Structure 1
Amino acid sequence: MPRRLIAWWTLPAGILAAGGQAPVSLWLLALAGFSLLALAHLRSPSPRAAALAGWRFGFGYFAAALLWIVEPFMVDAAHDGWMAPFALILLSGGLALFWALALYLARRVAPRGALAPALAFAAALTLSEALRGWIFTGFPWSLIGQNLIPSPILPLAALAGPHALSLALLLPAAAFGAALSRRQWRPALTGAALLAALLLLSPLARPLAPPAGPGAPIVRLVQPNAPQREKWDSEKSAMFFRRQLDYSSAAPTPDLIVWPETAIPYLLDQNPGLPAMLSRDANGAPLAVGINRSQDGRYYNSLAVIGPDATLVDLYDKHHLVPFGEYIPFGDLLAKLGITAFAAQTGHGFSAGPGPHLITIPGVGTALPLICYEAVFPRDIRNAPARPDLLLQITNDAWFGTFSGPYQHLAQARLRSVEQGLPMIRVANTGISALIAADGTVLDALPLGQAGYLDVALPSAAPATPYARHGDLPALLAAFLALALSAALAFMPRSAPGHKAIDHPDPQS
């Protein structure tokens, strides 16, 4: 195939690969797309050409997978709408640089050989995904491994986390790409055998998900369905607040009531009678509610736990804030230029809390609170001071629109449950509110765009998974060793006179 044609179809191949992400959720499309990227990498005549192929593919992938990023700009389209295309282009292009760097490195490390370039391809991309999830506070959304959430390979995350899923997708893709590049069946058979082994063996790692037993706590998930354009309207915000109170007062009284992120249109510290009012309408049931608060001139995006006696039992301040969404770096300076954080109330936005913090919920147990974006970071859960009984996510996914964002956010919540072997209570303003079992199964849910409440019996946690104990180290060590092995194989002397490695084809081909 002409090399120029290969170079340019990497962009649509990236769009194809994004079909593995929710809501399309066809993981075989991701496998096909990354196989085509592997082909482009193996046919690249130089590290620079490999990097360009990686960037084009990444741009197509992220532009399709992260299309929801334009939604926050459409809330006030007259003021912010002009920024939407620039945000999508800049974010997609910036994230694609990680994959460009990965393929450049892979081509440098393993420039020739039969196995080495394909192995380097999978290892370098996996390591670049780990870097993407960490640098500049990280953005691990639409990770390569997340394409396998709808597949039988998902339980592998309980063993070694999301980067093990990335390797599980990329290694077969590299083999299939090698088969296309060499026009031979042997690499394809290797890839098929590896894929079959993953499909057959991964379910054995599924965390034991004990069902809710007799006397299990009943938790009420309250979903007010307040569209972002209306959420802070002075007249409609009172209606949404009243709606949540009505849902909370409905009989029978549960053991816990959970409201979504920023559910209350008042500051906690400026309304001292608020806990008593909420407790009265909840018929004395404990509540976990999303609310903003201020302290010493700083604003916090918080979760407050109100006990049966109307006292403030616990308080958690979100610590992993969304850059340019909840805070603006150098915000005071940029505020003078008219650039402020979408969710913020001041030019510099919200302040970060001290870090992961377990909250005690009377009659339920200990929970690790995750406010919105925090659920996409596995490390925020691993850094908890102790293992909780459950994960508790409150979020306002109205910011993400109604197409892909809310579904992708839910998928990542499922992945967190699998990784840790913990059930999750997930409450979202506009949906999708859900009860997730310790094996990632969605046991019950309120659909997107529907107001209502859902009473669910909380299942038990599974034993701590290997990933909960060891984190990302095994998967990243495997990727690093694979990269080192590919370098060794690439420069190993050829053992047989007739041996022919797959160097790169003639530039004119």
Structure 2
Amino acid sequence: MLLAGGLNVLSFAPFHFWPVQILGLALLFSQVLREGEQAISRKRAGWLAWAYGLGWLTATTIWLVYAMTLFGGLPGILSLLALMFLTGALSIYIAAAAWGTRWLQQRWNISSAVAGLLILPGLFTVAEWLRICFLTGFPWTISGYTHTHSPLAGFAPVIGVLGLCWLNALLAAALALLMVTQASRQQKLALPALIVTVFVAGYGLQQISWTQPQGQPIQVRLLQGNIAQDMKFSQEHLNDSLALYHDMITQTPADLIVTPETALPMLTSQLPPDYLPLLNTFAQDTASTVLLGVGVHDGGDQYSNSVLGMSRQYAQPYRYDKHHLVPFGEFIPPGFRWFVKMMSIPMGEFSTSGPIQPAMKVAGQWVMPNICYEDLFGEEIAAQLSSQHNAGQPVASILLNASNLAWYGNSFAIPQHLQISQMRVLETGRPMLRATNTGATAVIVPGGVVEQLLPENTRAVLAANVQGYTGMTPYILIGNFGALGLSALGVLLAFLLGRRAAK
């Protein structure tokens, strides 16, 4: 199972072999759902699922070892052990889903078909949801992301990436039941029909336009400075970075000019006194809007990972502060300060702001930033859009992610993060702009299509005309309640069927 889980790396970017995810889960579920003399214990089901999860999560996030070793200063073996501690802990959720399925199946005396189609998808989805929200969350490569390029992408605007996790498990369970149960002729027809129906429904949903173009396209310039991470915070290169981004910003006016996350590798209080005023003068004189990634110092030990916006339309700079911080990189979880002291990553603990922040007006469009890791949390982006809608405020028509993935070198982290942004576009029906240090700097349009993309590890500027969109997808309105509701409904139906059979 460890190897089967590890093969899941092929289902995510840059490979996009999405059937691997369903087939791998089907292999795991075929063990959990065995009947009769071949049935396995709850304990064995849990251990098999844990091993599967360990292989899956370790293979897809192995790039974390690069950051901990090269930039955190940990020996390679300690970095690998730290990663496996993390992925092993997260795999407990998957193990609990398998264990819980077997326990409920025995307690309610229900068939493997009922357990597989009703209970297992629900508990698997709850396991993935816990990865999103528990202890600040680490939802990287949850199973639903594999479907940015499959017919199931049509479900994303309705039930989001978590709902796609539920569909993954449902389809995998149907395949598993065909493999391991003594299915009747009726079941052998019904299970393939279920699989076909799901894919046909996904294709049909892709034909629905949940959002519509709003206003006129805006001219955008996305800056990719390609500054090596080991140079970014080096004292002898600070002035070079400041000069580079000043020149890239002021080279050509545009409706919107965006730098990557922390493009300026120092706090605002440490910048030359005339640096921000000069950029503001350029914005005012050219009617450009400049969004600048920088650490904002609010005095004392208070500083935040922010995006500052300069524009004629604002008397004071617009400000968006990152609120969903990365454990160990941007804040220290309680009880782990000893671990952080072993590493040497700068700017280790940021202040946070509220999750609901206003969008910025840019030439008739409204741009909603998020910073790096934040676009893993689609329900938070949906909540921002929903809150703007419910409050009668302008609703963002364009999403923007400012990132720096140079921490992870030439790894799968870059295409995987691009895939995550594609899912946010599918869920919200709005384009996403990505301004990154080393990649992937891109424009993603509704439908999750990467319309323009800069080569990785090059210094370049992406110039594009981007159309904003308005309208509310079902996912924006209901968030993860749709997927969790499906999960709860399945378990409830299984309980009722079990009671009915017992009478």
Letter in 1 for 2:4: A
What are structure 1's unaligned runs of at least 5 residues?
1-9, 496-509
Q: Which of 438, 444, 447 is 2:452 aligned to?
A: 444
Structure 1 partner of 2:144 = 145
Amino acid at match of 1:155: G
Q: Report the CA distance between 1:266 and its aligned residue.
A: 3.0
What residue in structure 1 maps to residue 406 of structure 2? 398
Q: 2:113 aligns with which of 112, 115, 125?
A: 115
Work out the CA distance in 1 between the residues paired with 2:129 and 2:442: 28
Q: Does 1:163 align with 2:162?
A: yes
Instruction: Give the corresponding residue for 2:469.
Output: 461
**CA offsets per residue over residues 103-158 of structure 1, 9 Å max, x none?**
11111112341412212222210121112211111222111211222212112010
Instruction: Rate the CA distance shift 1:273–1:82 in 2: closer, same or farther, 3 A.
Output: farther
Does structure 1 conserve the Cα–Cα contact (< 8 Å) formed by 2:215 and 2:468? no
Residue 171 of structure 2 corresponds to which residue in structure 1?
Answer: 172
More helix by share: 2
Post-superposition shift, 1:243? 2.8
Match of 1:413 in 2: 421
8 A contact 2:126–2:487 mirrored in 1 = yes
The 1-side partners of 2:443 and 2:401 are apart by: 10
Question: Do residues 21 (structure 1) and 20 (structure 2) align?
Answer: no
Asked if the contact 2:73–2:342 (Cα under 8 Å) also holds between the matched residues in 1, the reply is no
Question: Which one-letter code corresponds to 1:11 in the other structure?
Answer: L
Which sits farther off after the overlay, 437-446 or 319-328? Answer: 437-446
The one-character-per-residue Cα deviations of 1:29-76 (angstroms, maximum 9, x if unpaired) are 111101101111113522111111111111111111111221211333
Moved more, 262-271 or 469-478: 262-271
Q: After TM superposition, which residue ranges in structure 1, 4 or more long, deviate above 6 angstroms?
A: 209-214
Show CA shifts across 1:392-445 (max 9, x none): 110111123322111111111111111111111111111101111122111111
Q: Which of 94, 99, 106 is 2:89 aligned to?
A: 94
Residue 195 of structure 1 is matched in structure 2 by 195
Q: Quote the residue 2:391 is aligned against.
A: none
> Structure 1 residues 174 and 372, CA, compared in 2 at 3 Å: closer, same or farther?
same
Bigger Cα displacement from structure 2, 266-275 vs 385-394: 266-275
1:303–1:317 CA contact under 8 A, matched in 2: yes
Q: CA deviation at 1:458?
A: 1.4
Does residue 31 of structure 1 match 2:22? Answer: yes
Which residue of the partner structure matches residue 276 of structure 2? 275
2:368 matched to which residue of 1? 368
Partner of 2:392: none
Moved more, 285-294 or 275-284: 275-284
Match of 1:46 among 30, 41, 46: 41
Q: Which amino acid aligns with 1:239?
A: D
Query: If the length of structure 2 is used for normalisation, what is the TM-score?
Result: 0.88
Report the CA distance between 1:188 and its aligned residue: 5.8
- TM-score w.r.t. the length of structure 1 is 0.87
CA distance in 2, matches of 1:191, 1:28: 17
1:264 and 1:254 map into 2 onto residues whose CA distance is 20
Taking the aligned partners of 1:47 and 1:329, their CA distance within structure 2 comes to 33
Q: Tell me the distance in 2 between the aligned counterparts of 1:422 and 1:482.
A: 31
Change (3 A) 1:133 1:343: farther
What is residue 58 of structure 1 aligned with on the other side? 53
Give, as a single letter, the amino acid of the residue that structure 1 aligns with 2:173.
Answer: A
2:309 to 281, 305, 309: 305
Shift of 1:303: 0.6
- Matched residue of 1:85: which SS? helix
Aligned amino acid, residue 250 of structure 2: S
Q: Percent identity?
A: 29
**Contact 1:245/1:281, CA 8 A, preserved across alignment:** no
Conservation of the 8 A alpha-carbon contact between 1:417 and 1:424: yes
CA distance in 2, matches of 1:228, 1:290: 15
Q: 2:332 aligns with which of 328, 340, 355?
A: 328
SS at match of 1:155: helix
Provide the C-alpha distance between the structure 2 equivalents of 1:264 and 1:471, rounded to a whole number of angstroms: 34
Q: Is the 8 A contact 2:222 2:462 kept in 1?
A: yes
54 and 335 in structure 1: CA distance in 2 versus 1, 3 angstrom threshold? closer
**Equivalent residue of 2:53, what SS?**
helix
Query: Distance between the aligned counterparts of 1:487 and 1:156, measured in 2?
Result: 27
| Whole-Å separation in 1 of the counterparts to 2:292 and 2:46 | 47
Taking a change above 3 Å as real, the CA distance of residues 134 and 24 of structure 1, as seen in their structure-2 partners, is same
**1:426 has 2:434 as partner:** yes
Distance in structure 2 (CA, Å) of the matches to 1:53 and 1:238: 53
What is the aligned partner in structure 2 of residue 221 from structure 1?
222
Q: 2:276 corresponds to which letter in structure 1?
A: P
What residue in structure 2 maps to residue 500 of structure 1?
none
